[in-house]
Chains A and B, each alone.
Chain A
Amino acid sequence: MIEVRLGSALRSMAGGRTSFPVEAPNVMRLLERLGETYPELAPVLERGVAVAIDGRLYRDAWLQPIPDGAEVFLMPRVAGG
């Protein structure tokens, strides 16, 4: 079980809830199952997110494994100049 938390920039978009438990072996399943289980996350997921796993940022890495007990955050995507 992974405890997915919303980064501070996304919390106001999901009705105030900040933590979402989910079973997922990788990023793709994580996003799928979050969408299925938590309708309130729809605005967050539709916006497009990056996933931070133990402090490392993954932007579109669907196949990235998620270790059990990892610190997982959904974050806004980062760009730059």
Chain B
Amino acid sequence: MPPDLEFTRKTSFETVGARPARPDGNDKVTGRARYGADVSVAGMLVGKVLRSPHAHARIVSIDTSGAEAIEGVKAVATRDDFPDIAPDAAVEGEGEENMWDVARNVMARDKALYEGHAVAAVAATSAAVADRALKSIDVTWEVLPHVTDVDEAMRPGAPVLHEDMRTKGLENAPRAPSNVAEYLKIAMGDSEAGFAKADLVVERDFRTEAAHQGYIEPHACLATVSEDGLAELWCCTQGHYGVRAMCAAILGMELSSLRVTPSEIGGGFGGKTTVFLEPVALALSRKAGRPVKMTMSREEVFRGSGPTSSTSMSVRIGATGDGRLTACEATFRYQGGAFPGSPVSYGAVCGMAPYDCRDVTLHCYDVVANRPKAAAYRAPGAPMAAFAIESVLDEIAQKLGMDPIALRLKNAVREGKTSVYGPTFGPVGFVECLEAARDHANARAPLGPNQARGVAAGFWPNYGGQTSVTMNVATDGSVLLSLGTPDIGGSRASMCMMAAEELGIGYGTVKAIIADTHALGHNDTTGGSRVTHSAGMATIEAARQVIRIMKERAARIWDIDVDAVVWEAGRVRPSGPNAGDHEPMSFREMAALSARTGGPIAGHAEIDAEGAGASFAVHMTDLEVDPETGRVVVLRYLTVQDAGKAVHPDYVEGQYQGGAAQGVGWALNEEYVYDAEGRLRNPGFLDYRMPVASDLPMIDTAIVEVPNPGHPYGVRGVGETPIVPPLAAVGNAVSRAIGRRMTHVPMSPPRIVEALDG
């Protein structure tokens, strides 16, 4: 932590905690905001991608001569246009992306590994010409057997995606190839000894289907590569530094040769933490010598970009007669699409993290299958594991005749307890969240026939990461913040508020932009609920530098020692017996004097933020099930979560509500549906049913604030955790309403009718 941040932790606030108008609101509702597809330059070409019609097929040959002969086609790119890179090459994207895999996901090499896998691309003078060119590319396929189901992919004899893949993590290194990329055992204590102490053991198998992040804005970018090899890329992304690193690695470029500017973003939710079109657009532009713009259709977004994993899980939990958890043993099988890297271990750890259970064994299998490469989706992996574990806890509560919140309170982690992943928890707000849910009016709302209440908890550890911020003070006293973390959830407003708070000036005086990769030092991708924490720390540090500069200049103006100058309510003033009788000077006055007192005033911070505070949430929903049709109507929905300190409560509540809405959609309707040939049957919002406003009640929120000691204002990230409990909260409510335990997400009407009939 930078030295300035060690000493002051604020507990009373002027600006932080208020609800000012969002700075990006007007542009977004009037259409002025520029998204990925809104950037155009003179002479640009239209780029389009040819995608595999097969779930699994060897690419025997690709003949592009027909396409190249079409007038208006300026470039065609295939696997031959992407250099080979080292199998273990990795760059920081969101987590650490294996670039060998990313490069092969961006453009297929020897095999197409899923329907929708890119196999060629063209750049042409119009979309119509590009479409004609795609039809003229002749690919010779050798269609191979495929597998899309996680359990089937793990069976001996299943079609193997990668002939060189051997399961890592097994005691005896296997010789045969497998679709299981890695086995990981997470263990503490002795689970069998724990089960021996149990009076009740509940064991269940669960499945969850893949859901897409469902961002409204499709992937889009514009690339231009000049003759001297310098390149510019405008794109819609959660992390333009990650895009730069990945594109540079895939195409063999220097980082300094590629300048990436992020657009406004129409939703990301983790799905825009990697690259799809961007390296292809650069490769096409490099070949054509002209700018190339590429935009995915919605169908391409579904078929070619990352959904989350589908899963198969088995959970066994033991408890004493008075509701004390004694042991948990669980197996989590997550398929992450055609390449390794499913978030199975995050899920396993997060599922049990809320509970003080000493004897736990979790078996994790990372599995590949003929589906699009999974991408991060809000709290990657955690909602599925929480569905399984929180469902079993609900069943334990039912069997013991306990209130579900009382059961969780009895076993909740709190400060000083050891986490399931190892370290001891500092101050955390899980108990406070449970108590707030218990005491909320929704907990006492009457329920009618076919109605029931479901409760579930969720956890995400959060993290910090590398962040760079520049704060420029203009001579009129206004302030411009340059940030390197794309704003996916209101971070520009939050940064402006923290800057205003620290400087003691008005919120409206501070403006923020997201700067390009050439303008600031490295920034990790926006994700993992890190930005309000880490960019907030950097902003506060930059503001403290500005204050330090102003104090030094005031001392020189007054001809007193700098130690005799204090900063108070946005002003410098002399303090102490020998400071003299000088009139205090405001921030604006000091800014106006900058040209005559040493030049521009600016603060910078380049930090690797640590101290992220763990995040807990509790959700409670009331819903009604139509026993004839299986249709579910959500009547009430409450989210309670610890924000540490809510910088802009509207945005915090928006995160809670958005996560709940996405989770309810996943719980009730959203799923990838494949046919017997491994082709996705519902690549559009008509058949992939996301909830709309009329499907949901007003989602009630309660913000708990247990300050995070690792942040100067006590902030905890809030973006991930809201999607962790909904699958289980809805599942527990549906199960109680129909008197059958639901074990398969989504709990769509046919599955509920099937459960009722079974």
Contacts and interface: CB of A to CB of B under 8 A. Distances in A.
B185 A55 contact: no
B674 interface: no
Contacts of B349: 8-9
17 contacts: A7-B422, A8-B186, A8-B421, A9-B186, A13-B169, A56-B710, A59-B464, A78-B346, A78-B462, A79-B94, A79-B528, A80-B270, A80-B378, A80-B527, A81-B94, A81-B273, A81-B379
A52 B96 contact: no
Given A8-B420, A9-B184, A13-B169, A77 B96 contact: yes
A80 B424 contact: no
B423 A75 contact: yes
Interface string A1-17: 00001111101110000
Interface string B240-279: 0000000000000000000000000000111101000000
B345 interface: yes
A60 interface: yes
Nearest to B183: A12
Interface residues on B, range: 35 or more
Interface of A is mostly: loop
Contacts of B355: none
Contacts of B271: 81
A59 B463 contact: yes
Interface in B409-457: 420-426
Given A55-B424, A71-B423, A80-B460, 7 more contacts: A8-B360, A8-B362, A56-B710, A78-B346, A80-B528, A80-B719, A81-B376
A52 B608 contact: no
Interface residues of A, number: 28
A57 interface: yes
Given A8-B186, A55-B425, A79 B95 contact: yes
Contacts of B719: 80-81
Contacts of B270: 80-81
B423 A7 contact: yes
Contact of A48 (B96, B345, B346, B466): B96
B181 to A, nearest CB: 13
A42 interface: no
A57 B379 CA distance: 17
B528 A81 contact: yes
B465 interface: yes
A56 B460 contact: no
Contacts of A77: 95-96
Q: Which of A9, A58, A77 has the most chain B CB within a 10 Å cutoff?
A: A9
A12 B184 contact: yes
B611 interface: yes
B380 A5 contact: no
Interface of A: 5-9, 11-13, 48, 52, 54-61, 64, 71, 73, 75-81
A20 to B, nearest CB: 13
B340 to A, nearest CB: 13
Contact of A73 (B273, B423, B464, B610): B423
B592 to A, nearest CB: 39
B461 interface: yes
Nearest to B461: A78
Contacts of A52: 422-423
Nearest to A76: B345
Contacts of B611: 56
Nearest to B421: A7
Contacts of A9: 184, 186, 345, 348-349, 421-422
Contacts of B362: 8
Given A79-B376, A81-B377, A5 B422 contact: yes
B377 to A, nearest CB: 5
A64 B720 CA distance: 27
A80 B723 CA distance: 12
A60 B608 contact: yes
Contacts of B426: 55
B543 to A, nearest CB: 23
Interface string B335-351: 00000000001101100
Contact of A12 (B94, B96, B187, B465): B187
A81 B184 contact: no
B528 A78 contact: yes
Contacts of B530: 80
A60 B611 CA distance: 13
Contacts of B346: 78-79
B529 interface: yes
A57 B187 contact: no
B188 interface: yes
Contact of B610 (A13, A57, A81): A57
B608 A59 contact: yes
Given A12-B187, A55-B426, A80 B379 contact: yes
B710 A61 contact: no
A19 to B, nearest CB: 11
A48 to B, nearest CB: 6
B612 interface: yes
Interface in B183-239: 184-188, 213
A58 B610 contact: yes
Given A8-B422, A79-B380, A61 B188 contact: no
Interface in B591-646: 608, 610-612
A78 B530 CA distance: 11
A52 to B, nearest CB: 4
A81 to B, nearest CB: 2
Nearest to B375: A81
Contacts of A81: 94, 213, 268-271, 273, 376-380, 527-528, 719-720
